Amino acid sequence: MQFHVYLAGQIHDDWRETIKQLAGQEQLPVTFTGPMENHDRSDNIGEEILGTQSDPIAKDEAASEINNLRTRLLLDKSDIVIAKFGEKYKQWNSAMDAATAVAQNKPLILIRPKELHHPLKELSERAQVTVETDEQAVKCLKYLFETD
């Protein structure tokens, strides 16, 4: 049995690579998907495909349609969602993706630094597990396949 894991959340460091490497070292039968990690491309994808838009809001609207196409589909196909929150940026679509996973009855593993426990307390309560490091998240995945 193989599981699809969607890696939601911040695109400002290389945490997805860490997760993939750790899972690879353990040879876990999981595949990973996630959002476009090239921030500029993510912001410009609307104009890249549809051409120049009339103003910044129209540009954002076009980009968000295509980013959401990707997120909806990949998140919908996933069996587990891991969402990572950091100190920077508003990260509202990280919260949106995490909440969507919960509402779709997919188990959510939340990674957040301890310092963020207060503003994330309601989301953490809805997550299946809350951890502080990438290593802990991968150990949760590993436990799915262990027999003793």
Q: Contacts with its own copies in 39-98 (CB under 8 A)?
A: 41, 45, 48-50, 54-58, 60-61, 63-74, 76-77, 79-80, 85, 89-93, 95-98
Tell me how far, at minimum, the Cβ of 53 lies from its own copies, in Å: 10
Least Å distance, CB 25 to its own copies, is: 17
With CB under 8 A as the contact rule, the residue among 8, 82, 109, 111 that binds its own copies is 109
What φ, ψ does residue 81 adopt, rounded to 5°? -120, 130
**C-alpha span between 76 and 119 (Å, rounded):** 26
Chain centroid offset of residue 83 CA: 4
Taking CB under 8 A as the rule, does residue 25 contact its own copies? no
Q: Give the shortest CB-28-to-its own copies separation in angstroms.
A: 13
Smallest distance, its own copies to C-beta of residue 27, A? 18
Cβ(43)–Cβ(71) below 8 Å: no
Contacts of 34 (CB under 8 A, 6+ apart): 6, 7, 8, 16, 74
